[in-house]
Structure 1
Amino acid sequence: MKLAEALTARADLQRRIEQLRARITANARYQEGEEPAEDAAALIVEADAALEQLRQLIRRINATNARLDLGADGTMTDALAARDVLRLQHSLLVDAAAAASGANDQFLRQMRSELRQVSALPVGALRARADRVAQELRELDNRIQQANWSNDLEE
Structure 2
Amino acid sequence: MKLAEALALRADAARRAEQLRVRIAASARHQEGESPAEDAAALLVEAEHTLGELESLIRRINRTNAATVAEGGTLTDALARRDVLRLRHRMVTSAADAAAGEGQRGFRQLRSELKMISTLPVADLRGQADDLARRLREVDTLIQRLNWEVDLLD
TM-score, length basis structure 2: 0.97
Preserved CA contact (<8 Å) 1:109 1:115: no
Q: Is the 8 A contact 1:65 1:76 kept in 2?
A: yes
CA distance in 1, matches of 2:59, 2:127: 40
Q: Which amino acid aligns with 2:79?
A: L
For residue 61 of structure 2, what is the aligned residue in structure 1? 61
Structure 2 distance, partners of 1:88, 1:30, is 45
In structure 1, the residue matched to 2:10 is 10
1:103 and 1:111 map into 2 onto residues whose CA distance is 18
In 1, Cα distance between the equivalents of 2:71 and 2:101?
A: 42
Q: Which residue of 1 aligns with 2:19?
A: 19
1:107, CA displacement in angstroms? 7.1
> What percentage of residue pairs aligned between the two structures are identical?
59
- Corresponding residue number in structure 2 for 1:116: 115
User: CA–CA distance in 2 between the matches of 1:139 and 1:38?
Assistant: 47
Number of equivalences: 154
**Equivalence map 1:133-152=2 (5 Å):** 133-152=132-151
* One-letter identity of the residue aligned with 2:58: I
Post-superposition shift, 1:109?
A: 3.6
Partner of 2:102: 103
For residues 110 and 138 of structure 1, the distance between their equivalents in structure 2, rounded to whole angstroms, comes to 39
Deviations 1:59-112 (A, max 9, x none): 00000000000133x100000000000000000000000000001124734421
Q: Report the Cα distance in structure 2 between the residues aligned to 1:147 and 1:106, rounded to whole angstroms.
A: 44
Q: What TM-score do you get using the length of structure 1 for normalisation? A: 0.97
Q: Counterpart amino acid of 1:138?
A: R
Asked if 2 retains the 8 angstrom alpha-carbon contact of 1:86 and 1:137, the reply is yes
Paired position in structure 1 for 2:126: 127
The alignment status of 1:36 with 2:52, answered yes or no, reads no
Give the structure 1 partner of residue 76 of structure 2: 77
Q: Distance in 2 between matches of 1:115 and 1:121?
A: 18
- Specify every segment of 5 or more residues in structure 1 that has no aligned partner in the other structure, as ranges: none
C-alpha root-mean-square deviation of aligned residues, in Å?
1.0
Name the CA shift for 1:46/1:21 in 2 (closer, same or farther; >3 Å).
same
- Unaligned 5+ segments in structure 2 are none
